[in-house]
Amino acid sequence: MTRARLYKDFFLHTDITVMFVLLLALVGAHLALFGVGIRSLICFAAGLVGFMFSEYMTHRFFFHLKAPRNPTFLKLLKRLHYDHHTHPSDLKLLFLPLWYSLPNFIVFVGVFYLITGLPDASAAFAAGLITMLLMYEWKHYVAHRPMLPRTRLGKWVKKTHLLHHFKNENYWYGVSTPFVDAIFGTLKDEKQVPTSAFVKDLEGRPEGQ
């Protein structure tokens, strides 16, 4: 597969394109209405950090829930994550669907606005969230596609995510930022972690596993 095709598959995927357009619209509107100030930069950074932690928490405590008995909820988790573990190279399962990411984005920004009451700060926070979401999607994409990162950090990020998929699903939850794993104790030396029998079958895990 050519590098041009790999880039095309990412940037022209609907879920990615829509979020890129939304980010450009947010940045453009912010610059036109508010300009750039210290508060905006701080709130943008807060959006980046906020996404890093929400990504980890969502991945660990929601996407890796034990299989629910409710068929609708099970179907939701299968689309969001279970099936991705079963078929980690399937492009259709690689990106967060818009029906999931957009409502979450609206809720996070809405809560931030209710707390601050500041339109400019909220717009900057929103831009930070989407920027980190797109970074997450890109790093996730690179991890599962025949692409070799050029930096040492990029290679490490790809390695840790592949360990999550092929070594043990209970560690290495951070996709864009494995450093968050270090804070919560899930960044391990692969030699000290046993290979899980359910790493590709999240739905089949027994109770207590």
Residue 29, in any domain of the structure? yes
For 167-191, write each residue's pLDDT tens digit: 999 999 999 888 999 999 999 999 9
Residue 159, in any domain of the structure? no
Residue 204, in any domain of the structure? no
Residue 168, in any domain of the structure? no
- Per the structure, how many domains does the chain have? 1
For 98-149, write each residue's pLDDT tens digit: 999 999 999 999 999 999 999 999 999 999 999 999 999 999 999 999 999 9
Cβ atoms 100, 76 nearer than 8 A: no
Residue 139, in any domain of the structure? yes
pTM of the model: 0.94
Residue 79, in any domain of the structure? yes
Residue 10: give the domain boundaries. 3-149
Residue 180, in any domain of the structure? no
Neighbours of 206 (CB within 10 A): 8
- pLDDT computed for residue 3 by the predictor: 85
Cα separation, 201 vs 74, in Å, equals 13
